[in-house]
Each structure stands twice: as structure tokens, then as C-alpha cells.
Structure 1
Amino acid sequence: MSASTDTIAVPSPADFHVHLRQGELAQLVTKHPNLKPPVTNTEQALLYRAQLHAIDPSVEYLMTLYLSPELTPDEIRKAAQAGIVGVKSYPRGVTTNSEGGIESYEAYYPVFAAMEEVGMVLNLHGEVPSAVATNTCVLNAEPAFLPHLRKLHAQFPKLRIVLEHATTRAAVECVKSLGPTVACTITAHHLSLTVDDWAGQAWHFCKPVAKYPDDRAALQEVVKEGHPRFFLGSDSAPHPYESKAAAAPTTACAAGVYTSPILLPLVAHLLESFGALDKLEGFVSGHGRAFYGRRVKEGGERIVLRRASRKVVAIEGYGAGTTHVVPFWAGKEIGWEIEEEPSK
């Protein structure tokens, strides 16, 4: 990163966890860098990648498969040869479109062994389902998941694992303790929000939910530390306006916030707020690329951020009808913006 008083140049920024949707909504949100049905085999992943390239060919899309009973070790080897980089795991019922999520990791040990063999990454949504019997709910679902992470790492020490969208101090400390094959993504919104921000505010509701002030502080601290195994994964998840603003007593608000349209300026704004602006390049480019083995191309694109205080976007957001989406931070001031023409 090169920096002056008013500009920051970031080489080849990367988002290592983003939802780009399908159909008409994908047409709207892909250029702003949970599918249903999920992508469960190589052919589906390659078709989806081709659809995304047709919308915006300037992006390198790193494709993942959904961990499901249909996934076999042979399919893992086939996917790796086709350039698919990972497998995504959701426990059943913990977030949007996770009805087909898994209930037992042991059943997938042959798949994980094949992934370890071919160098694919296991991306974990690190929560357990809420249950009265275990006194588990959205506020402690992540710490309750961490024994599964430790067990998987012990069983497959060479398997690269990413604990996605960490929200707690317990998760940060766990990942730090597990060594070079275990990494962690952090979202922009979790660097900003706590429980008070989403309780009663549908637009800030996501899974995993933001936790306590000390948990947010832990996320900020590890970013400020510049720890090489913690990097940006926005988990940007656009939902139509009606899904977020549901008013019917029987209708649940959709879980997810949409940060893609303002992601880099927002991350710079937030890192500057807690004294970590000098760690921006590592957090949004270097650390994640190193873990995934994706080098910054010599002479590749640099995104230039320019200091500017302005309104992010009108409250009405983007699109209309079933593709009407409202981004995180709508109507709020932000301290940075992307220059219109990226420098080379």
C-alpha cells in the first residue's frame, strides 16, 4: 500500500467471502462486488462462474462447492483439476438457505481427506444450531462451534480451513492458536456493529449476529495487529427490500447485510477509526491471497481510494421491485471513496 494524506493505492483487492446471487438479482449486484439451489458439483460451479463472467469479466471468481451428501472424494479431485478452490460448509438451519446443511462432520472425513490431498480449502460457517436442550442461541452459537474446528484441524492438520465471518474474541483466540493451515475472515460490518445495533434494526441483522463490544474489540485488535491469517471476507449478502423489512408477524427478517457497493471505502473508514489504516493492504489483499495461493499479478490493477466525506447512497438503495436492495451504511457519512479510474 502506498499512502499520502489524501490517497491510498491498494493492489488487487480481494473479497474472500461474498454472495453474488443468481438471475436478475445477480445482474444488479455482481458489478458491485446463498444460492438456491446450492452448487454441489463441478459442472454447476463452472456454469455459475461462466454466468458471473458474462456479467463482469474483470473479476477473478474463486468458486466453491457446497458440502452435501452428493459430494464425493472423486468429485473433489475433479473439481480441483477444474480450478475450483474450496468447499463451503453450513450446519443445518443456522443461516439463510442452510436447510441442506450438514449435521455430522465425521460423515465427510473421506471428502476432507481428498481435499487435504489436492489442496482445496474448507470454508466453515462456524455456528451450531440453536437448541433449548444445550442452551444455545445466536449469541453463543459461534463459541459452541469451536470444538468442531479444533477437532477437524487435529484430524486433518494439513487441510487448509477458513473460519468465516468471526464475531467473537473466542473465535479469534482459537484461530490464532491453531497454526498456519487455519485462517479466518472478518467482515466490514462486524468491525462496526454490536448487539445494540441489530436488536430491533432489521437492516443490521445478519448471521452470525454481531456480538458484544469486547468481541468487536477483538476483531479490531487482530486487524490492527496485522495478523497474516485474518483477512477480509465481506459476507455481503443482498436481500430484496421486502425480505429485510418484513412486517408480518409470521415473517422472519432475512439474515444478511449488503456491503459490496461501498466495501473498500467502508473498510478504510473503519480501519482508520481504530488506528489500523496502515494495515489496509494486508487485510484486503495480501493476507487472503497468500493463504489461498493467489499472487498479485505484476502490473495488475490498483484501486485508488481518495479521502472524501460524503453521503454513501440515498436510503432508497439500488434496483426496483423484486431486485430492490438497500446497502449497509445507507445515508451515513464515509471518509473515503474510490477514484473513478483505477490506476495501473
Structure 2
Amino acid sequence: MNFTKAAEIELPAAFDAHVHLRDGEMSQLVTPTIRHGGVNQVYVMPNLVPPVTTVKQCLEYRDRLRAIEPNVDYLMSLYLHETITPGTIREAKKAGITGVKSYPAGVTTNSSSGVVDYATFYPVFSEMEKVDMILNLHGEVPSTPAHSHTSSAKDATAITILNAEPAFLPTLLTLHSKFPKLRIILEHCSTAVALETVRKCGPTVAGTITAHHLSLIIDDWAGDPFAFCKPVAKTPEDRDALLRAVVRSQGRFFLGTDSAPHASTKKRGEDKIAAGVFTQPNAVALVLDALQVGIERGVLKEGDVTKEVLEGFLGGWGRAFYGVKEGKGETIVLRRSAGKVVNVLKKDGVSVEVVPFRRGEVTWGVEWK
């Protein structure tokens, strides 16, 4: 396959290993866009308000999503919370829940109920290791409070959104060391050092990479609220390391878009900008666009982007790590420059509107075969 010259590419339907579908009106708006993006299987994040912390809540949430769009396979997760016990894990495993998502307290949207001390959850992680459930890590530590001042060389390095991910990586290594058989995913890797840390771990550790981190750097989100997410996009060198990881990871990294919709009023016009980039309607197309630009800039070679790589990163490698199959055998056909990102996602009868990433731009079109 000559990727840069291909007018169309046929691939298996994609698996998106990290999506935010929200609830209520927002869910009604965004859940139907999963298939628009070329995806028929998703791993759903539990950071609703209140967070999804019980098996009953989780199964009821899945039922609501199925009612909106029945032609998607929803893998579900619980929110790591002080009320989660080893007993909860056993119950969740029996109910078919896939994993548990950990948010450090306060680092991103709806994470105020998150983790302060990971050691307190060691019994939970031990049970997850026994029953073979996945631990998904939002790999950042909270920023140092603005009113806190380091006053000597002995003080710890202040944490900002730019070094919050590297500062978390020792926690990943500790968890992997203590629970070597526990399947762990470092979500939405945004730095070269995060990629290298995952590679240093055993095969039970993997990482997800978003579509937007493959194209963004600091300068992009600094002036555009619709490109602002957590973790923030970093340096050009980090972006290029992510591109290379897509084609050279041998299955250690796979797609997790972290598509995170926010009402347009939350992205502009309020005191603080909500963290989240909405890519769901164009998930696969945006990855292909980023790889194309990577080749044009010389970061990747034409031969790097093979059909095997695309099938792996967009679905096969994630499904293998999660231990799931794509049961329907569906395929998608992507046609170059045949799609366009809408300026605003809206729906009759729904009051909320969302502005997608790269609004108004031409991209690949997706057709289900």
C-alpha cells in the first residue's frame, strides 16, 4: 500500500479504547457519532457526575448508551473511588465490566473524587490482578497550588500541566512492580518519556495515543480553547515521538481518542476553559491525516504506514490487549478528502452544542461496507 497516494483504504472497523460519552442530552448528541468516526467498539470512561462507582450504575449506564446507539459494543469501566473494594471488583468481573479508571484527584474534568494515595488501593489492585481486570491510569499528578512557593533547593519541583505526566511515571513503575500481572494502560500518552517508560515495563503494560496529540503542540492549544485538553499537547519532539510510536510500537500503543465533548459555552465565554478535545465523529480520519503530515514533514517514511500498522493501531492491538474480539466483522472504506468536519455538532431536540476538533476542515470520508 502506498499510503500517501491511496485514494481509498479499506480497514476493519476501529476500536476506540478511550471515549467520553457523558450522559443525558450530551450523550444523546455524541453517542451516535461513534460510528461516524469509523468505530464500532469503545471503552467508556466513568467520570460522570456523580462518578460511576457501582456495578449497578455501570450496567444502567451501558443500557442507556445501547438505547441511543445499539450498533456499538460498549466496554465499561468503574471509577476508582474510596468506596471500591475487592468485593466490588469480583462483582464487576462477574457482570462483564472490563476495567477500572483511575483519576488523580483534581487533574481533569470530573476528577474531584479521584485518587490521593494509590497505596490505599493496593488490595483493590491485587484483586484486579487475580480476576484479570484492566487498570486505566490518567497519568498526571495535580499541579502545585498557585499560592505555593518553593523556597530552597530541597523543595520538590513545582508541578505544572507541562510536567504533570513525567512526574506521574514513577507511580506507574511502582504499580507495575508490585502487581506485575495486572494489565495497566497509561492513557493518552503525551510525552516521549511516557512512551519510553511504557516500553521499559513488561507486556502487561500498554499505552493509548489520541488522534489530537498526533498533530498538536503547545502553541496550538495556547491560542485555541477547542484544542485544550488534559494532558496538554507538549513539544514538537513529543508529538513526533508519538507519531513514530504509532508505526513502530509493535502493539504496545493503540488508539484511545479521549474524545471529550463539552458544551460550546464551556469552551469559551466562561471564566475557565473546560479541558477536552472532541474528535469522535472523525476519529479514524484524524489519525490518517496526522500520519500523512508526519510523512510530509519527514518524521515518518512512506513505508512506515502499512495496512498492517493501520489495522493494528486502529483496532487489532487494542482488542488484543483488552482480550476482546470484534464480533460483527464490519469494515470501513476511507476516501481521501471526501469528508468534512462540521463546524458545530447539533441535534434537533437537544439544547447542547459541541464544537469539534479541526472544525470546518476537509478530512477523510468514512463509509461502512
TM-score by length of 1: 0.93
Residue 330 of structure 2 is matched in structure 1 by 301
1:333 offset after TM fit, Å?
2.5
How many Å separate the matches in 2 of 1:157 and 1:136?
28
Alignment match of 2:315 (pick from 279, 285, 299): 285
CA distances 1:65-108 after superposition (whole Å, capped 9, x unpaired): 00001000011011001100100000001001111111000000
8 A contact 1:231–1:283 mirrored in 2: yes
Q: Is the 8 A contact 1:240 1:322 kept in 2?
A: no
The code of the aligned residue for 2:330 comes to E
Quickly say closer, same or farther: Cα 1:162–1:51, change in 2 above 3 A. Answer: same
CA distance in 1, matches of 2:243, 2:105: 29
Distance in structure 2 (CA, Å) of the matches to 1:274 and 1:11: 23
Q: What is residue 185 of structure 1 aligned with on the other side?
A: 208
Q: Is the 8 A contact 1:92 1:101 kept in 2?
A: yes
Does 2:361 align with 1:332? yes
1:237 counterpart SS class = coil
Q: CA deviation at 1:296?
A: 3.3
Residues 2 and 10 of structure 1: is their aligned pair in 2 closer, same or farther, counting only changes over 3 Å?
Answer: farther
Match of 2:298 in 1: none
Residues 31 and 68, structure 2, Cα contact 8 Å, conserved in 1: yes
Does structure 2 retain, via aligned residues, the 8 Å contact 1:319–1:325?
no
Structure 1 portions without partners, runs of 5+: none
> Which residue number in structure 1 is paired with residue 65 of structure 2?
52
Shift of 1:179: 1.6
SS in 2 for 1:274: helix
User: How far apart, in 1, do the equivalents of 2:259 and 2:344 lie?
Assistant: 18
Is 1:212 matched with 2:235?
yes
Residue 316 of structure 1 corresponds to which residue in structure 2?
344
CA offsets, 1:198-225, max 9 Å, x none?
Answer: 1121111101100011111110111121
Q: 2:284 aligns with which of 259, 264, 271?
A: 264
Q: Could you say which residue in structure 2 is the equivalent of 1:89?
A: 102
1:162-181 equivalences in 2 (<5 Å): 162-181=185-204
C-alpha distance in structure 2 between counterparts of 1:137 and 1:56, whole Å: 39
Is the 2:341–2:356 contact (alpha carbons within 8 Å) kept by the matching residues of 1? Answer: no
Q: Which residue of 2 aligns with 1:244?
A: 267
85-94 or 25-34, which deviates more: 25-34
Q: Deviations over 1:91-143 (max 9, x none)?
A: 00100111111100000000000000000000000000001454110000000
Equivalent residue in structure 2 for 1:36, among 18, 24, 49: 49
The count of corresponding residues between Structure 1 and Structure 2 is 335
C-alpha deviation, 1:25, in angstroms: 0.9
Give the aligned partner of residue 73 of structure 1.
Answer: 86
Instruction: Output the CA distance in 2 between the equivalents of 1:2 and 1:329.
Output: 26
Normalized against structure 2, the TM-score is what? Answer: 0.87
> Partner amino acid for 1:296?
E
Q: Find 1:120's aligned residue among 107, 112, 133.
A: 133
Q: Which moves more between the two structures, 218-227 or 279-288?
A: 218-227
2:273 is aligned to 253
Q: Percent identity?
A: 54
C-alpha displacement of 1:309: 5.1
Tell me the equivalent position of 2:153. none
Alignment partner for residue 148 of structure 1, among 167, 171, 180? 171
Structure with more contact order per residue of length (Cα contacts < 8 Å, sep ≥ 6): 2
